[in-house]
Amino acid sequence: MTDLELFRTLAREPYQAKGEKAIWLQICDRLQLAYENGVLAPGIKLPGEVHLAEVFQVSRITIRRALSKLQQEGHLHARKGVGIFVRQRPERYEVESNMRFADGFKVARDRVTTETLNLMRGDVSFEGGVALALPTGSQVIKLLRRRILDGEPIYLTAKEFPAARFPDFEAVYNETGSVTEVYKAHGVTRYERAETRISGGFATARQADGLNLSPRTPVLEVVAINCDPTGTPIEYNAGCWPLSSVEIVFPGAAPIKA
């Protein structure tokens, strides 16, 4: 079955009366159900608006409203100049006090890659200053990067590190691409996650651009603070996940009995 034939199948069911539910919402419901049931496979490209409008026998405006809602909910994402694609299913991510990001993802390691977007020095942000116990105007290393899962951006993070603690940060990071290796090069062989805060929100323009989302798409915002073995804060991390892309798990110490 071709992609267009798949959508023709979804369009065969007669619509309810407009007075009961708007047509664009009915189309949205059909597409969302197909996504949840796995009928719309992750990664497939949707036909263009003209073809979908023809298949569902509605106007392009009606199709656009249905697709826009699904993008805002994180089920679809648009690639500029390419088209609209079905997003990946949520993946399991475990949060533990001393676990690296890559180890928290319960997928094959080769499916996840890292893309560094910016690395610079500057004044600490207000939030970073509070988290790192640094006075206003203190210099920090600012690292902006994103994680890519199966070719699709899944996590955007902005980090701040005290510059005085990591004088050779850029040299080590540019060579290894690893924050953990930067820690080790500066004598921090072990660290702990002192705090992790998770809240819901809507994607800002920067977050939407970094994660290939529509603005105002629901996201999970994660703020974390890492400390060295003495309890001194060494990293402030503000990250963002598309809400539909991840299942965050906090494992307990005791195993669950079968």
Tokens of 226: 């890492």
Tokens of 54: 């023809």
Could you give all domains of the chain from N- to C-terminal order, each with its CATH number?
A: 3-86 (1.10.10.10), 91-249 (3.40.1410.10)
* pLDDT, greater one: 222 or 42: 222
pLDDT digits (tens, 9 = 90+) for 61-106: 999 999 988 888 778 877 767 788 887 776 666 766 555 555 565 5
pLDDT of 225: 94
pLDDT of 33 > 80? The answer is: yes
Tokens of 234: 């060494």
Q: What is the 3-state secondary structure (H, E, C) of 2-28?
A: CHHHHHHHHHCCCCCCCCCCCHHHHHH
pLDDT of 195: 86
List the beta bridge partners of residue 76: 86
pLDDT of 246: 74
Instruction: Supply the pTM of this predicted model.
Output: 0.71
